[in-house]
């Protein structure tokens, strides 16, 4: 096939998407923002090249919506059908005199990955667009950056494929309205496709407010096939939040003429909780809106799989508590809430002491059991609104939202230090595993999650340097020790009612330790 024929086919495939000159879409905008952020470039684009121009479906960092085709770097990427990297356009003979290099936006670095779709005859994929990042400074891109660009381009391909599928369904619905004979034939095909994909179609008459549903739409609702359902009855299947979402989407579409695409929770007539996706657009007759038409899909399985994958990604496989990624998300949310409502919280970072000795003496199964036991103890200590997480091999984190103010925190730490003491006994030998803790209370002086983690880490290392099995609080120079029974014939460093240090002062503790003693000597700063 000649290059001219290839280009004609490419332009036909691009036209079939019906995407040129369409309004911005959230998914594509998110894609370019992600590319801009991950690759550190000021400009990111989803670019489509037709006969005369390069048009941007989504853009970050660029004010124009299109450029002449002959100036487009993306034309070269489409022609090569592969990743195009230009590290310094002023040194590349193909682009050195390009107006986009010599003038605004002064392109120096460019990396563009073709976005492909399936040909209409299923004869392989053909490039119709590019995902590209641009910098005004010459630079290199490493293998990680290349992999990110390729992955994001694959996501763009999935978006275009989904768009193509949606267009096909809408065309089928329109054919049913135009031709009764074609309607009968199309219905049989469509019903099979609907059952396979769990997708139904619908039409809402704006004059009567009655709906016309396909068989699969009735099936998703769990009701017998009927002659039409009033809008109010149809909305009763949604939760109050879901109903408000649907009503807002319909009103917005009718006022602006723009299509909508929403996902929400849904309960069918049998009381089964589902997750559904509803897409719709205005049907015009002689320029006037007469109906809303669209498709309706049961995405419960897909949604559950996504949630399960997200849960797996955010759960430590060995201990069952949160992973580091989940901790990061939780801390970001707690910081946001703390800044909005002045509700504080405390981050604890815990290192296990003598854990390596357990692995060395008894093997990894014993070590794994220690990790699970410690995770259970921390889970019990975090409270209903807190979080326990494993963030390393033998390192844990605890976010405490209740009972962790300046007065209660030392008491909580002492109890936690005692709870984390765990004896591993095998063949007459005992190894006592304990925890060393660094704590930091979030307040207005802490700028970010990383700063909070760093301060808690610093407190942890102060405690380690002082004595394993102790705790330290950021900003407090004193050490916190567990409630430990004093060995016989050894005089405790403090008697009940003796002290904990504040600066150079000594403050007596309460009798809550009974016969056990607590010491809080000053810690080296």
Cα→Cα distances 458→114, 404, 475, Å: 47, 19, 10
Q: Which two tokens stand for residue 385?
A: 């609104």
CATH topology of domain 314-513: Alpha-Beta Plaits (3.30.70)
Q: Which two tokens stand for residue 442?
A: 């979030």
Tens digit of pLDDT for each residue in 426-468?
Answer: 777 888 999 999 999 998 888 899 999 999 999 999 999 999 9
Higher pLDDT, 347 or 521: 347
Nearby residues of 357 by Cβ (< 8 Å), 6 or more positions away = 431
Q: Which of 159, 157, 128, 156 is nearest to 50 (CA)?
A: 128
Give residue 146's pLDDT: 95
Give residue 67's pLDDT: 93
Instruction: Report DSSP letters for 443-481, one per residue.
Output: -TT--SHHHHHHHHHHHHHHHHHH-TTEEEETTEEEEEE
pLDDT bin (cut points 50, 70, 90) of residue 491 is very low
**Three-state SS annotation for 89-135:** HHHCCCCCCCHHHHCCCCCCEEEEEEEEEECCCCCCEEEEEEEEEEE
Q: Which two tokens stand for residue 88?
A: 């310094």
Give residue 210's pLDDT: 85
Mean pLDDT confidence for 339-368: 89
Higher pLDDT, 118 or 427: 118
pLDDT bin (cut points 50, 70, 90) of residue 516 is very low
Mean pLDDT confidence for 460-484: 89
Asked if residue 269 has pLDDT above 80, the reply is yes
Mean pLDDT confidence for 174-200: 65
Asked if residue 186 has pLDDT above 50, the reply is yes
pLDDT bin (cut points 50, 70, 90) of residue 522 is low
* Whether the Cβ atoms of residue 84 and residue 169 lie closer than 8 Å to each other: no
Tens digit of pLDDT for each residue in 375-390?
Answer: 999 999 888 889 999 9
pLDDT bin (cut points 50, 70, 90) of residue 225 is confident
Using a 10 angstrom Cβ sphere, with 0-12 exposed, 13-18 middle and 19 or more buried, the burial of residue 71 is: middle
Rounded Cα gap, residues 2 and 387, in angstroms: 61
The backbone torsions φ and ψ at residue 223, rounded to the nearest 5 degrees and listed phi first, read -125, 155
Rounded Cα gap, residues 109 and 90, in angstroms: 9
The SS3 of residue 57 is strand
Rounded Cα gap, residues 472 and 413, in angstroms: 9
Give, as one character, the DSSP assignment of residue 501.
E
Rounded Cα gap, residues 96 and 114, in angstroms: 22
Q: Which CATH number fits domain 196-303: 3.40.50.620, 3.40.190.170, 3.40.50.880, 3.30.450.20?
A: 3.30.450.20
Give, as one character, the DSSP assignment of residue 28.
H
Q: Which residues pair with 260 in a beta bridge?
A: 280
* Whether the Cβ atoms of residue 469 and residue 417 lie closer than 8 Å to each other: yes
Using a 10 angstrom Cβ sphere, with 0-12 exposed, 13-18 middle and 19 or more buried, the burial of residue 226 is: exposed
Among 5-14, 358-367, 377-386, 481-490, which stretch is predicted with the lowest mean pLDDT?
481-490
Q: Average pLDDT over the chain, rounded to whole? A: 84
* Whether the Cβ atoms of residue 346 and residue 473 lie closer than 8 Å to each other: no
Asked if residue 142 has pLDDT above 60, the reply is yes
The SS3 of residue 87 is coil
**Three-state SS annotation for 165-189:** HHHHHHHHHHHHHHCHHHHHHHHHH
Give residue 428's pLDDT: 75
Give residue 194's pLDDT: 64
Nearby residues of 152 by Cβ (< 8 Å), 6 or more positions away = 31, 34, 35, 38, 113, 131
* Whether the Cβ atoms of residue 334 and residue 319 lie closer than 8 Å to each other: no
Tens digit of pLDDT for each residue in 146-167?
Answer: 999 999 999 999 998 888 887 7
**Sign of the alpha-carbon torsion through 179, 185, 189, 194:** positive
Nearby residues of 279 by Cβ (< 8 Å), 6 or more positions away = 166, 259, 260, 261, 262, 294, 295, 296
Q: Is the peptide bond before 416 cis (omega within 30 degrees of 0)?
A: no
Rounded Cα gap, residues 492 and 519, in angstroms: 9
Asked if residue 125 has pLDDT above 80, the reply is yes
* Whether the Cβ atoms of residue 193 and residue 199 lie closer than 8 Å to each other: yes
Mean pLDDT confidence for 297-307: 86
Give residue 178's pLDDT: 66
**CATH 3.90.550.10 corresponds to the domain 3-168:** no
Among 66-70, 170-174, 240-244, 490-494, which stretch is predicted with the lowest mean pLDDT?
490-494
| Residue extents of the structural domains in the chain | 3-168, 196-303, 314-513
Mean pLDDT confidence for 162-174: 76
Q: Which two tokens stand for residue 522?
A: 């000053």
Higher pLDDT, 34 or 215: 34
CATH topology identical between 3-168 and 196-303: yes
Give, as one character, the DSSP assignment of residue 517.
B
Using a 10 angstrom Cβ sphere, with 0-12 exposed, 13-18 middle and 19 or more buried, the burial of residue 181 is: exposed
């Amino acid at each position: 096939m000649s290059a001219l024929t290839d280009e004609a086919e490419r332009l036909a495939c691009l036209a079939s998407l019906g995407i040129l000159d369409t309004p911005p879409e959230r998914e594509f905008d998110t894609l370019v923002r992600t590319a801009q952020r991950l690759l550190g470039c000021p400009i990111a684009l989803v670019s489509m090249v037709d006969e005369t121009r390069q048009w941007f479906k989504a853009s970050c960092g660029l004010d124009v919506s299109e450029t002449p085709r002959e100036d487009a770097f993306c034309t070269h990427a489409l022609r090569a059908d592969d990743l195009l990297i230009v590290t310094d356009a002023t040194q590349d003979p193909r682009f050195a005199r390009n107006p986009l290099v010599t003038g605004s936006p002064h392109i120096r670095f460019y990396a563009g990955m073709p976005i492909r779709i399936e040909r209409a005859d299923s004869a392989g994929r053909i490039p119709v667009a590019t995902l590209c990042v641009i910098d005004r400074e010459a630079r290199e891109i490493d293998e990680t950056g290349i992999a990110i660009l390729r992955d994001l381009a694959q996501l763009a391909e999935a978006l275009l494929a989904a768009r193509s599928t949606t267009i096909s369904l809408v065309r089928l619905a329109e054919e049913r309205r135009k031709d009764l004979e074609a309607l009968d034939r199309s219905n049989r095909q469509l019903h099979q496709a609907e059952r396979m994909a769990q997708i139904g179609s619908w039409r809402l008459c704006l004059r009567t407010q009655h709906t016309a549903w396909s068989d699969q739409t009735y099936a998703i609702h769990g009701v017998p096939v009927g002659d039409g359902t009033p809008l109010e009855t149809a909305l009763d299947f949604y939760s109050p939040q879901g109903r408000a979402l649907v009503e807002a989407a319909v009103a917005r579409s009718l006022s602006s003429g723009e299509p909508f695409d929403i996902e929400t929770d849904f309960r069918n007539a049998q009381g089964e909780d589902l997750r559904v996706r509803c897409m719709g657009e205005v049907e015009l007759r002689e320029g006037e809106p007469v109906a809303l038409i669209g498709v309706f899909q049961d995405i419960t399985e897909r949604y559950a799989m996504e949630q399960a994958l997200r849960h797996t990604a955010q759960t430590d496989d060995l201990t069952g508590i949160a992973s580091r990624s989940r901790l990061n998300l939780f801390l970001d949310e707690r910081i946001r809430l703390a800044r909005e409502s002045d509700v504080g919280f405390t981050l604890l970072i815990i290192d296990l002491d003598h854990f390596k000795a357990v692995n060395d003496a008894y093997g990894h199964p014993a070590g794994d059991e220690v990790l699970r036991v410690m995770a259970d103890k921390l889970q019990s200590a975090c409270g209903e609104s807190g979080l326990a997480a494993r963030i390393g091999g033998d390192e844990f984190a605890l976010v405490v939202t209740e009972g962790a103010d300046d007065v209660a925190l030392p008491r909580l730490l002492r109890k936690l230090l005692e709870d984390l003491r765990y004896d591993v006994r095998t063949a007459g030998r005992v190894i006592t595993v304990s925890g060393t803790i660094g704590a930091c209370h979030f307040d207005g002086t802490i700028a970010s999650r990383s700063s909070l983690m760093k301060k808690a880490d610093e407190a942890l290392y102060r405690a380690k340097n002082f004595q394993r099995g102790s705790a330290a609080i950021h900003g407090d120079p004193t050490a916190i020790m567990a409630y430990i029974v004093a060995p016989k014939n050894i005089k405790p460093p403090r008697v009940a009612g003796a002290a904990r240090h504040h600066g150079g002062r000594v403050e007596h503790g309460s009798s809550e330790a009974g016969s056990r003693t607590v010491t809080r000597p000053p810690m080296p700063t």
